[in-house]
């Protein structure tokens, strides 16, 4: 089974509010976005956004240039159905972040909650970082959320890589200035707890 098939099957078998990473609202992410890019026309990409409600809340706050990228077409279709007519105001991309072609120097804010920790191979992480570096210009912001050192070792039947904030930031190398870091406890729909770490950085002059 391919990675795409795995995630399509996951979203076919479970409702969006039944997956372990579900939150009704991504409060921390929304607060960071509003502080970092108050311009409502700023280009924002939600990597692995799937059926997340982040796009709903961004639209409700007046953001008008939002892209949702996910490997699962099923996840994107669930989000589109939930948004109804508002879905036409969002750019939807079905693709693998390690191979997808994104426009250069475009996104003022790159958001990823719970994708990066699924990239177990060094080559996939390197491709992810290279795509991010091409797509986010100097001055752009990045928010990455992964399982922390005490988080789960597996999610949705797949092994993950757990990170401290220091280990996470080291994956991205030079050219990023840390703005903030957070460690939070996420409570799953089944009442289990998961440790997440969040790294917020700004892209600075490279080379």
206 pLDDT band, cuts 50/70/90, is: low
The predicted-structure confidence for 116-126, as pLDDT tens digits, reads as follows: 999 999 999 99
Q: Where are the beta strands (DSSP E) in the chain?
A: 44-47, 66-70, 91-94, 109-113, 141-147, 154-155, 158-159, 176-187, 193-203
Cα angle 161, 166, 170 (rounded to 5 degrees) comes to: 75
Is pLDDT at 18 greater than 80 in this prediction? no
- Residues 6 or more apart in contact with residue 67 via CB below 8 angstroms: 43, 44, 45, 46, 90, 91, 92, 93, 107
Position 111 scores a pLDDT of 98
207 has a pLDDT exceeding 70: no
**d(C-alpha 147, C-alpha 164), whole Å:** 8
Share of the chain above pLDDT 90, in %: 81
Q: How confident is the model at residue 114 (pLDDT cuts 50, 70, 90)?
A: very high
Say whether pLDDT at 41 is over 70: yes
Q: At residue 80, does pLDDT exceed 60?
A: yes
For the beta sheet containing 176-187, the strands, ordered from the edge strand earlier in sequence to the opposite edge, are 91-94, 66-70, 44-47, 109-113, 141-147, 193-203, 176-187
Decide if domain 26-63+78-175+188-203 falls under CATH 1.10.10.10.
no
| Average pLDDT value over all residues in the chain | 94
Whole-number Cα distances in Å, 176 to 24, 34, 122: 30, 20, 20
Instruction: Say whether pLDDT at 46 is over 80.
Output: yes
Kindly report the CA angle at 3 between 193 and 183, in degrees rounded to 5? 25
**Where is mean pLDDT largest: 19-28, 63-72, 198-207?**
63-72
- pLDDT value of residue 185: 95
Tell which phi-psi region holds residue 117, choosing left (phi > 0), alpha (psi between -120 and 50) or beta.
alpha
- 65 versus 207: the higher-pLDDT residue is 65
């Amino acid at each position: 089974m391919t990675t795409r098939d795995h995630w399509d099957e996951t979203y076919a078998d479970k409702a969006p509010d039944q997956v372990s990473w579900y939150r009704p609202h991504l409060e921390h992410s929304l607060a960071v976005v509003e502080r970092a890019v108050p311009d409502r026309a700023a280009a924002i990409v939600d990597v692995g956004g799937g059926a997340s409600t982040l796009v709903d809340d961004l639209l409700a706050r007046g953001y008008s240039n939002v892209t949702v990228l996910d490997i699962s077409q099923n996840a994107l279709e669930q989000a589109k159905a939930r948004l109804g007519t508002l879905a036409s105001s969002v750019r939807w991309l079905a693709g693998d972040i390690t191979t997808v072609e994104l426009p250069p120097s475009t996104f003022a804010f790159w958001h990823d909650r719970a994708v990066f920790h699924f990239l177990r191979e060094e080559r996939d992480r390197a491709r992810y970082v290279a795509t991010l570096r091409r797509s986010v210009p100097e001055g752009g912001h990045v928010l990455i959320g992964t399982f922390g050192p005490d988080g789960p070792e597996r999610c949705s039947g797949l092994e993950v890589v757990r990170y401290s904030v220091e280990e996470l930031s080291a994956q991205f190398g030079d050219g990023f200035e840390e703005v903030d870091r957070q460690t939070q406890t996420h409570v799953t729909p089944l009442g289990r707890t998961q440790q997440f770490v969040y790294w917020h950085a700004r892209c600075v002059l490279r080379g």
